[in-house]
Structure 1
Amino acid sequence: MEVRRDVFQAIADPTRRQIIEMLAQRSLNLNEIADNFDVTRQAVSLHVKILTECGLIVIKKQGRERYCEARLDKLGEVADWAQQCRQFWQEKFTSLDKYLHKIQNTKKPEK
């Protein structure tokens, strides 16, 4: 059974988020990426593989080296989803605020 990966799975892991942030600055080879983490190179390679499967990075060969480059346009899916959530909750909080003001103003004054 093949695992379907998406951008949300990619950013769910803090190591992968760090890799994305590093690659957003400049292209790096796998060794340069791995040097920034206290895990095995094999673990970093797995993170890079997942990021590649999700379309957030591409690997390009330059001579004998393989360089990873960020492809951040896929993060638009996350931004769109976050905006929908923000809009949903903003409407709920606005409605709650109106309701609280209404019941506060209809409260009978104490003598």
Structure 2
Amino acid sequence: MKRDIFQALADPTRRAILMLLATQSMTPNAIAAHFDMTRQAVSKHIQYLADSEIIGPEKNGREIMYHVNPDQMKAFDHWLEQFRNLLEKRFSQLDDLLNNLKD
């Protein structure tokens, strides 16, 4: 089941997992070692991120390594860029209005 990227990133634990994976691929056990929760709870977070395609599994021998999916992150960054541009435009309009009121 495909999950929404925004819901996936809404959880602080999932964001922390993503930050861990941003530097290197890791096994579920290696990821779980960074959290004070059960391995099963961490696995649910990993699965949620995988279902949203933010991270992906890769077989490495008998182990599964998870890594960040750059294509999905680029799509998210594209959305953020549009949002940033909209906010910058609005702030610029507000600056113009305030400057006109001073004059």
2:67 match: 69
Measured in 1, the distance between the counterparts of 2:75 and 2:58 equals 24
8 Å CA contact retained: 1:58, 1:70: yes
Partner of 1:87: 85
Letter in 2 for 1:79: D
Aligned mates of 2:84, 2:60 — CA distance in 1: 42
- Unaligned 5+ residue runs, structure 1? 106-111
Deviation at 1:46, TM superposition (A): 0.4
Q: 2, 13, 19: which is aligned to 2:17? A: 19
Percent identity, aligned pairs only, is 40
Partner of 1:36, secondary structure, is coil
Residue aligned with 2:35, SS: coil
- Which runs of 4 or more aligned residues in structure 1 lie more than 6 Å from their structure 2 counterparts after TM superposition? none
Deviation at 1:79, TM superposition (A): 1.5
Give the alignment of 1:4-83 within 5 angstroms: 4-83=2-81
- Higher Cα Rg, which structure: 1
Q: Which amino acid aligns with 2:95?
A: D
CA contact under 8 A between 1:7 and 1:77: conserved in structure 2?
no
Q: Tell me the C-alpha RMSD between the 2 structures.
A: 1.7
User: Gaps spanning 5+ residues in structure 2: where?
Assistant: none
From the superposition, tell whether residues 72 and 64 of structure 1 become closer, same or farther in structure 2 (CA, over 3 Å).
same
